[in-house]
């Protein structure tokens, strides 16, 4: 196991590369809580660094929840990091606000923090991107227990037309077994964002598409997500996509990695190869740490039956 710090559960993560060092940002919660399900209410964002994606130095917590009444008052969840044209690093992350101590009901929104060095992060006051009710399910529209609007994955438009954000969301009028969509927002400058309609039709196989990423594997643009399919098959899924992830046939996605792997990321290593990292779980379902890098090409070929 490449990264499994003592005393903490570690699960979803994302990686930034400054050209010399890989920076791992990860969700963490103390194992002293006892019940791993409690980690979601107690998640903080940690930071570790590595030269090779295998040997990591942990730097502890770098971002936590806001004050009472803030969009991130309960916990800070999954995000991504990009560097703007101004040289400033921006972390887009999920803020969770649970409504009751005895209920899973929560509202998810997206915030931003900035950094000059990838070590110290300052939240951008007043910045919040929320689900738009004309396009997406809001809390209370169905029996789904959360307002799903999380896991922002931000990338530059390939043609230079600003920036795109992929978001875990649910389409309107979904049921509890289907309805996941690739949520979308657009920005000209990383600071001002407009929520757009979903990039996909509501899935008939997945209730949500978690920890989205668009990546290049063997010269093919691929969208990754993690989910439980309606038939119970769970893990990391991948589907071919164009560079802007439009109209991806997510219901035809191939299983890239089965459980216990989840929330995988594709990262380019120092040799220029696409590798996959994922968090894994122990025999009781609790997070057990982040894997060593796995070459992405063979995984993708095997998923397509070409291995």
pLDDT at residue 307 in the model: 58
Among the four given CATH numbers 2.40.10.10, 3.30.565.10, 2.115.10.20, 3.30.2270.10, the one describing domain 8-259: 2.115.10.20
Distances, alpha carbon 7 to alpha carbons 28, 172, 296, in Å: 10, 40, 30
**C-alpha distances out from residue 80 to 64, 102, 141, 294, 305, Å:** 15, 30, 28, 20, 31
pLDDT, one tens digit for every residue, the chain (307 residues): 689 999 999 999 999 999 999 999 999 999 999 999 999 999 999 999 999 999 999 999 999 999 999 999 999 999 999 999 999 999 999 999 999 988 999 999 999 999 999 999 999 999 999 999 999 999 999 999 999 999 999 999 999 999 999 999 999 988 888 999 999 999 999 999 999 999 999 999 999 999 999 999 989 999 999 999 999 999 999 999 987 888 899 999 999 999 999 999 999 999 999 999 999 999 989 999 999 999 999 999 999 987 5
Domain residue ranges of the chain, discontinuous segments joined by +: 8-259
Whether the full predicted model's pTM is greater than 0.85, yes or no, is yes
Q: Rounded to whole angstroms, how far apart are CA atoms 5 and 288?
A: 9
Residue 293, Cβ density class (10 Å: 0-12 exposed, 13-18 middle, ≥19 buried): middle
Dmax (CA) of the chain: 52
Q: What is the pLDDT of residue 242?
A: 87
DSSP-assigned beta bridge partners for residue 15 = 24
pLDDT score of 196: 98
**In which residue are the tokens 């077994």 written?**
177
């Amino acid at each position: 196991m490449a990264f499994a710090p003592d005393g903490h559960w570690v699960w979803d993560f994302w990686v930034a590369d400054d050209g010399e060092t890989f920076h791992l940002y990860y969700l963490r919660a103390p194992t002293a809580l006892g019940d791993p399900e409690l980690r979601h209410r107690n998640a903080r964002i940690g930071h570790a660094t590595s030269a090779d994606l295998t040997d990591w130095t942990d730097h502890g917590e770098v971002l936590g929840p806001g004050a009472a009444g803030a969009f991130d008052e309960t916990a800070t969840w999954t995000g991504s990091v990009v560097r703007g044209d101004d040289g400033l690093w921006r972390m887009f992350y999920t803020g969770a606000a649970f409504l009751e101590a005895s209920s899973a009901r929560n509202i998810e929104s997206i915030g931003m923090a900035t950094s000059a060095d990838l070590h110290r992060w300052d939240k951008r006051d007043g910045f919040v991107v929320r689900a738009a009710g004309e396009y997406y399910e809001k809390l209370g529209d169905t029996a789904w227990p959360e307002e799903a609007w999380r896991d922002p994955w931000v990338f530059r438009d390939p043609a230079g037309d600003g920036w795109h954000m992929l978001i875990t969301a649910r389409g309107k009028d979904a049921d509890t077994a289907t309805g996941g969509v690739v949520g979308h927002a657009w920005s000209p400058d990383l600071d001002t964002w407009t929520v757009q309609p979903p990039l996909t039709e509501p899935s008939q196989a997945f209730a949500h598409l978690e920890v989205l990423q668009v990546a290049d594997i063997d010269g093919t643009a691929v969208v990754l997500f993690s989910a439980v399919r309606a038939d119970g098959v769970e893990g990391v899924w991948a589907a071919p996509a164009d560079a802007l992830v439009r109209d991806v046939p997510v219901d035809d996605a191939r299983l890239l990695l089965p459980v216990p792997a989840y929330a995988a990321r594709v990262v380019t290593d120092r040799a220029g190869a696409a590798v996959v990292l994922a968090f894994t779980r122990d025999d009781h379902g609790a997070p057990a740490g982040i894997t060593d890098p796995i070459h992405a090409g063979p995984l993708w070929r095997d998923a397509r039956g070409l291995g």
